[in-house]
Every structure is written in structure tokens, then in C-alpha cells.
Structure 1
């Protein structure tokens, strides 16, 4: 199904896409559908097709930590997280991280996307985002039977009907989700009819990327965009091929360099492939800046340090990194109620029976989803502390501006973030209810069921970086998210934890749980809660910004057509181009970037 080395080494293609992940395969697929161009995709991982670890639902984290599926990046010791080194799982293989995420399909508020256009990117607004995310989705609504148990209503205008990515409502109705939503409403968060139309402030049940027609298995970039085109003679995909660098012309074409191809590593040896038209880097927020730097594009000091000649000096490469962080609050559930959680799958006999039911295409726990959530402004979650938090944030921004040390363009980003923080209609925090145990102090007990409220920050003021450590493309980049370097991020996170813990004080959630397991008695005061966060919070794997789409003078790396500054035909298309973090999980964003990139290359956007 995939190419051999001889099909690629020394050969010439119209387009070369480095990275066969979420956006990369989307671009390839759309070009194959609408043009007669030849396309090469270089993917560092294995095909991993027809793999139950990927396809079978409710195995959240099953591929994490396994180098067959996971890049297993490691951060530098994080100064503001007790010097912890944080493992950063990223998808490796066809489909990229769409093959290993928790398959929640979510979208941000309108203001978050419009902020990208405000920062200097014409066309990157909510209308465009909605257009492309609708194009990529095929939604199947909840059945009448499901609606008896679910609050999953929807508006047709906000759901795609003919796209390759299948989304739907998980089939297993859970009392746990009902408890969560009813409690959220009592805490001041309205139940939304549909959280996909640009308003997500409130509580709602989201969709998940499961394909009902394929026994409710994962719908992701490989099944949607690779498999339908695998036999197209114009489509060449080489796996286990690590993109090393982009080949740039020795002489500029006018003011810019011409990308002529790609150097890649396969089986321990280095080869080249050539491009007639364009090269697209789509290796993700943590790898795309490294590929650029190894190509001679990036901050001069970094390139000189790793011994790579400077072709295009772009100080913004690898900078402006932002990410969501999460932490869990776990609860033991009332044993008198027959809850359905992933904890049951720890019983080998039960797990075997669930696989049997899956094979018969009957209801089973592998059809569950992590999809019920709330998004709240701090004015709702922390009415007594919101003013103080806003004042501290204003002081932080003003101090940074006065210091004269802010990178170009960051003051403008901070002003937008501050404006959003002051807006009591826009969300600053999120919690998602996970039907199972996912915290890290205690050990779950056999035979018991648990729930975990996953608390997620949304618009961090902290900024990190990702840079090549050497000229070796096989050496992982240096990853420094700089988490909580802006202390206001930790302040907001603590308020998020405090608010979410209130669920256990309000019916019906109160009566549904026996006790809080983690953090429990170890985190009661504000400082103890912050220490819990510093010790146990983790990345939510939503990093963005390292190849920011911004004007060049504002530390931009790509323009609004995703073309790398200083080049004629080199693009970056993945979540690394997102200049400002959104209040959403990043799956739909990645597909949107891929869809938009394909239209740009076709000359219709």
C-alpha cells in the first residue's frame, strides 16, 4: 500500500509534503481529487493501518509511550513546574496525532478565530474556519433512542454532511454525563443547543470522530484521506522516511529562495526527492520549526549554534509556542449505580466480552467518548476573584511592555488576550468529564468505577520555544514550553480547579460520587492547589505558534498563504502556524489548515 524507496529517491514530483499526519494527508487528498498533480508524502512513522490500538475506541492513551506510534518528545526541566521534565506524546505514523488523540471534535468561539485575522492574516476568520471544518466533516446525529438519555441537540448549519471525517454521538448513554451537565447548569453554565456555531460558553455534549458504519471505529486522516487514494498512481507515500531538510536553490529567485526538493533519512541513509511546484512542511508544532532550521531558515543564533548556514534569517521560527495544560480531579463513583466507565476494562474477562460485542457490531464500551464539557469565563467560575485576576493580568502585561523585552508582535497578542479575559461572555477555562480514572497520586482499586474531571486552561500568557539542538535530523528538538512562566496562568488554573471541585458539592453530582480521590486532602488551600498543579499538570497536546502566521515584522514565519518568508514556494501547514491559542481542542483546526492549504495551492483561496 505504501511506496518503496526506489519509487522516491532521486525522483521528481509536483508537490512534496513532509509529514503524513492530519493536515498533510488532507492536503494530499484534496489535491488528488481536484488536480492531475503528482504528490509525494514523506512520513517518519510506520503505516499503522488496520491497527486495533488506533481504531478501537475508549482506549485513551493506549498508543502513548509506544515508539511505534509516539514521538515521545521530552521537555527541558520546567522551572515553574518543580523542574519536572514533561513527556510530550505526538502521533507518529500515517494520520499523525489524529491516530492517537481522544477523538473529541470541538470548535472554538468566533472571537478566537477572528483574532488571527486581526493579527494581520486576511481571510483567516470565523467564516473561513467554519467553511473548511464543515467541508471536512460528515456528522451523524443522535438517534431518537439516544436522545432519551442524551442532551445532544444540534443545528444543521453548524454540522458538515458530506466530508471524509465521520463524527457522531457516542452510543453509550452514561448517567455520569447527565450528572455533569445538570450540575453545571446549577453552577451557572447554560446548556447549549449546539457548541459548534461559535458560542461555546456553557455546557454541552460534543461529537467524536467515530465511524458508525465501520463498527464505530476511529475516523482519522489515514482512513479518510490516505486509504481512498492509495492506488492512485499519482500518489506516492513513503513511510519511515524522516524529513531532514528542504533543498533550497543556491541563488535567490528575485528576493526569495526557491525550494527544489527535500532531503530525507530512510533506513539510516540520506536521500533526495525533487519538487517541480511546491514543498509543504506538515510535521507539527514540535517538528516543523526543526525542519526549517535544518534547512537554514530561522534565528541566526540558533543556526550558527548548530552549524547550519543561514539562508533566511527568521527570528520567529520555533518561538511563540503556546499550549493548553490539564490536570485531573478524580472521584470514586457510587457502587450502588451500574456505571459504565473504562475502569471496567481492567477486568480481563469483561474486556474480552466487550471485544466480542464489538466484533458483532453490538453496543459495547468501545463506543464511549470523552465529549461532555463546560467552558466558562472567570467571571462566572470565580465571581469574587475575577477582578483581582484581571488586575494582576493587566499589571503583568504592562510590566512586560515597559521592560522593552517583548518579542515583536507579542504585545499585540497580549492585548487581545487581555480583552478576551475581560469579556464575560468568552471562556477562559474548560473541564471535560472522563468516564474513568486519570490522575496520578493514588491507585485505582479493582472493581470500582471512577470519574475524572479534566481541567484545561485555554489562553495562556506563557510563551515557550522549540529549536533544533544539532544538525542531526534524527535528534529530537529542544522543547521548552516555559509552562507557568506567566504566573497569571497558574492563578487562573487554580481558580479552574476550585470551581470544578464545586461539582462534588452540588446535586446531582454530589450524590453520585463517594469521595474525591485525587488530589483529596493534599490540596485544600490556594497554595496547596497550585503545588498540586505544579507537580501533576501535563500538556494537553494542543501546542501551537512555533511557525506563526503573522507579518514578518511581528516575528511571523509564514504569511496568510502559509508561504515561508524569504521563499518562493515553501509552505508550512499544520497547527504550528496558529498565532494565538484557541479555546478548543486542536483536531478541527488541523483539518481546517489542511483544507485551506489545498485551496491555496489550487489557486482558489
Structure 2
């Protein structure tokens, strides 16, 4: 991509009035800004705390997994509190810093949830948030490219056109993949009884299947919010995007008894100076699941005890802000493969990596790689003990006498899901390389010349709930994050069952012949208690946090209503993944775009009614 220079300055924004002020130029923020600014009669400004990072090969070249993680140019690297039920481990929650947000930091997995998970959101009191609506808006965000002939020659790829978008800003396709690993994984799981899914993008993911990636096959580069939504819209005269702008608080007019507050703009800092920008119609928070609740609290919206602690005067008491936090966590089981097939492990060889980069410039080679082999299935497919384990979890939930308002409805839905043999409680991914113990850093280094496969196990529907709250009144102090991992023991138990199931794959062909040995957790990890300790010591975040600004009825600790409007306000909305109130069995990127697409229609409809 040619060098791109951002043209908006603080002088273009400070003291000015725009119809829409969007806080956060991430996955959802840029998508929303692009859609709203399609109407030339409205003006939009986006404030992004990070840099533009446009045209950066560390972002654009797909298979450089983890290269941007913890680098402060790209990553907020939020630390968590010590986790009591994970041997007091502290975690780093990586999140995209800069235009495109986490869509410029992630592993390019393009995954959509099962229909039942989205319909559950509607059941919690959110009319219009169902699978039919999800499909409509999700398809609006994407342009799908079928597998190329060179890919079909080495691996069969199937799809149904009716489940795919054809004209959206985000390009998706079948990426380059190490097909020997995919064949091992896919065929083994079919032989173990899982069904092969022709197309997992129509609401049924219960089985094993090959995923797409958000890559543009015309250039084999990452297709994300910046390239898909912002670049085509950047020269619109009604759209301004200011980077390096840290929002300190939302501004409101004076309170009038009996009336909701009106957001009038935001206060932000840029190069050490404080500025204000004003909103004629709406202020929209798109700062993500970690920083959207923080900004609400800095603005006087949240729990009384939190606001008192950070010294911020209360404007609206909303106990749900920063609560109901749910995160997917994962753990890996790694295997050495027979015959040393080509895998991502070869990327550790500088010569191989240099050649891969050279080939990428020609639109060829393994730097086009994506993560492709997925499987989702119910607990009952993994263990005959499923009914006993599920009823034990249900009893623990029932025994909890004091729950926040609305929490029991969520947990009841989750227990009902577990009891349903068509649900997807477990998730496995075949990563074609060594990816355990240290995760992204790839240390300790596996043996040179050998190839590995790591089966990654993900917790889809955690029963545990965490919190995210502002640490102080300063926008530069990272919030306090406590995910409460494994506070509900069933969350740990279901990962134990993941690992036990994964280990049985070595009893089934072709995995049986394709594997030399299990490397992690290894032969010394035998009992369930051993497995529990392995999980506690090695699990990590999947970067899929939701719930911190939950879309629920206000009396059930909701923060936003079904139109994404913050309770107690007339014109403040939250448009990002934080609004999802109950977790979904999917990686969250595609859902973030769907939220932005739907929000654009909600916002336009709202203001058309007022003019």
C-alpha cells in the first residue's frame, strides 16, 4: 500500500460541531463512521488514541502472528489482576491500538456463531437481535472469494453462496493452509463421529469444518476495518479522523429533572493539551469492551462505589457498567508429527521466513496463511459423564443465593444450552505448529527440523463473570481488569474435558499414524488434577471479551437498550462488542462488524424520525 498521510489535525476538530462524534477508530468505530458518512448531509468525526498504522507490513502481511502483540505502537497490552483460581497468574489482554483496533492485531479468523447463541441475546430482552438480523448485517460487511483452483487441487473446499456476502467492505477467502495438518484433524474428527459441515456460516457450526480468513486474495493482505471501511471513505469532506486523541470524558448539558441527559460532545487530549469537540446529534462510544466502560465511568456513568473511589461526580447511576464481563480462554495440547510435514514451525528458520516474505510479494507462499481447521461440538460428544457434569454445574448455579439482577436468566440459558445435545460447548482448533506453554512467544523453542500440531481448546460459554473498572479519573491510567477466570469451577472442568477428548484423537486414524508423541502437557500429566494444574498454568485469553456494557433491560443491570442507547441518556450510544450480554461460540471479529452495520441503520432511523 502506498504511503498514506492522515490530514486531520486538532485544529480541524477542536471547538467544532459535528453531527456524530465517534470515540474510537477501531473495528466497529471505523465501520460505523464509514456508513454514517455515506450521507453527504451529515458530518462525522472519529477520535482515535493510537496511531494510524496505515500500510504497515507488520499488520498487512497475514502470517506474522503475534509480531505486533505487546508492542506499544500496536497494542494496549492491558494487564489483569492476579487470578485466584489460576494460581495467581496475571495475564496480558492484547488489544489493537491504532486505526482498525483489534481488527489489525488479530489472527484473521473469520468465524460466525451458531444461530441459537444470537437468538439467546433476543431472549434476554433485546427485540431485533436475532439470527435473521445477524445474517442480514453480517453479510452486508463482507465480500467472499471462493477458494482458488490451486487450493482446490490440494484440499476440497465447499460453501453455500446464500450464506455469504458479495459486496461488503471486508474481503474474506480461503487462505493458504498447511493441508497435511488440516487433513489429519478433519478426517480424525469425522472418524470420531463429528459431522463435516459444508458451510459453517449459516448458523450451524456443530461439527468440523474449514474456516475463512479476512484476507484480500487480490493482494493477500489483511482486510480489516482500516482498509475496508476507512480508506475508501477517507477523502469524504464530511468525515474527519483524528489520531493520537485520548478521550477524557463525555460532555453533557445541565441535568433537567425528569429528563434524560443529552451528550453535547467530548473532551480529549492531544499532544498534552486538552480540547473539546461538540456533537449536534449523537456521541457514540466505540472504544471496545475494555475502554468503553472506563470512559463511561470517567464521565460519571456507572456504579456509585466505583465513581466515588475514582473521585468522579455521578451523572447517571448504572450498576451494570463494567460488570458481566465474559472472556474466552484457551489452552493447547501439542503433538510432534511424523514425517515432518511443512508447518508454521519452519517460520522459525530465518531463511525460510525470508523466502516466504519474498514469495508473498509475488502473491505466493506461506505468508498468506490463515487458521483454518475448526470443530465445535456438545459436551455429550466428548464424554459419557456429560449429564453428571452438567447437572453438577446446574446445582452450583442454583445454590448461589445472591446474584446480580438478571444474572440468573443468563445462567439458566447457559445451562439449557449445555443440556441440549445440538449445542456447541466445546471448540477445538488445529494450529499447524508448536503453540503451547508460552503461546505467542513460541518459547521454549521446539526441536529444529521437527513439525508439530497444536490442538487449541476454547471455553465457549463461561459461567464465570468478571469486571472492568476505571482505576482513577485519568484517561491514561489503564482500567482494572479482573476476569474471574474459573470462579465457576465448571469452566475449568469443561477445559479438562477438552484435553481428555483431544488426547483420544491419537487412538483414531489418521491422527494415530500421523503423530509421534504428545509434547504438552506430556506423559507426566495423567490425572484430572494434573490436567487442572496444567490448564491453570498455561491457559490464556482468546481476546474475545464481551459484556462490559451489556445490552439488557436496565433493571437487569443493562447499560444500553436494544437501540444501543445508554440508559439515562438521550443521544449517547455504545457500538462495539461490549454490548453482547451473553457469550457466543465464535471468535468475535465478524460480530463486531455486524454490530456496527446494524447500529448505522438504527442511528439513521432514529434521526430521520426527529427531522
TM-score between the two structures when normalised by the length of structure 2? 0.96
Q: 1:333 aligns with which of 331, 334, 337?
A: 337
Alignment of 1:215-294 (within 5 A): 216-252=220-256, 254-294=258-298
Corresponding residue number in structure 1 for 2:372: 371
Deviations 1:162-197 (A, max 9, x none): 101000001345111011000011111110111111
Secondary structure (helix, strand or coil) at the match of 1:576 reads helix
Q: 1:35 to 1:115 in 2, by over 3 A?
A: farther
**Separation (CA, whole Å) in 1 of partners of 2:176 and 2:590:** 22
- For the Cα contact (< 8 Å) 2:40–2:238, is it kept in 1? no
1:301 corresponds to: 305
Superposed counterparts of 1:358-397, under 5 Å: 358-361=360-363, 363-382=364-383, 384-397=384-397
Alignment of 1:556 onto 2:561: no
Matching residue of 1:131:
136
Alignment of 1:59-458 (within 5 A): 59-172=64-177, 174-214=179-219, 216-252=220-256, 254-334=258-338, 336-337=339-340, 339-361=341-363, 363-382=364-383, 384-400=384-400, 403=401, 405-440=402-437, 442-458=444-460
The CA deviation at 1:204 is 0.2
> Structure 1: how far apart are the matches of 2:112 and 2:257?
40
The answer to whether the Cα contact below 8 Å between 2:177 and 2:372 also exists between their aligned partners in 1 is no
Residue 350 of structure 1 and its aligned partner are, at CA, apart by 1.4
Is the Cα contact below 8 Å between 2:18 and 2:43 reproduced in 1? Answer: yes
> Shift of the alpha carbon at 1:496?
0.9
Residue aligned with 1:213, SS:
coil
2:51·2:73 contact (CA, 8 Å) conserved in 1?
yes
* TM-score, scaled to structure 1: 0.97
Residue 22 (structure 1) aligned with residue 27 (structure 2)? yes
Aligned to 2:441: none
Q: Deviations over 1:461-498 (max 9, x none)?
A: 00000000110110000000000000011111100111
Whole-Å separation in 2 of the counterparts to 1:589 and 1:62 = 24
Check the 8 A contact 2:178/2:343 in 1, yes or no.
no
Name the stretch that deviates more: 136-145 or 22-31: 136-145
Q: Which residue of structure 2 lines up, in the alignment, with residue 40 of structure 1?
A: 45
Note the C-alpha offset of 1:500. Answer: 1.4
Alpha-carbon offset, residue 390 of structure 1: 1.0
Per-residue CA distance 1:345-374 (angstroms, 9 max, x = gap): 11111111111111122x211111112110
CA displacement, residues 15-69 of structure 1 (integer Å, 9 cap, x when unaligned): 0100000000010001112352111100111001111110001111111010100
List alignment gaps of at least 5 residues for structure 1. Answer: none
* Contact 2:50–2:97 (CA under 8 A) maintained in structure 1: yes
Deviates more, 1:499-508 or 1:364-373: 499-508
Aligned residues: CA RMSD:
1.3
Query: Are the structure 2 counterparts of residues 423 and 444 from structure 1 closer, same or farther at C-alpha, using a change threshold of 3 Å?
Result: same
Contact 1:319 1:465 in 2 (8 A): yes
Q: Structure 2 matches for 1:484-499, cutoff 5 A? A: 484-499=486-501
Deviation at 1:451, TM superposition (A): 1.4
Following superposition, the deviation at residue 519 of structure 1 comes to 1.0
**How far 1:283 moved relative to its partner?**
0.5
Q: For this pair of structures, how many residues does the alignment match?
A: 597
Match of 2:549 in 1: 547
* 8 Å CA contact retained: 1:42, 1:243: yes
2:178–2:432 Cα contact (<8 Å) kept: no
Unaligned runs of 5+ residues in structure 2 are 439-443
Q: Deviations over 1:532-565 (max 9, x none)?
A: 1111101111110000000000000000000000
What's the CA shift string for 1:72-94, capped at 9, x where partnerless?
10000000000111111001010
Alignment of 1:555-594 (within 5 A): 555-594=557-596
Aligned equivalents of 2:568, 2:299: Cα separation in 1? 12
CA deviations on 1:397-422 (whole Å, 9 max, x unpaired) are 1111xx1x100000000110010000
Question: Is 1:55 the equivalent of 2:60?
Answer: yes
CA contact (8 A) 1:172 1:364 kept: no
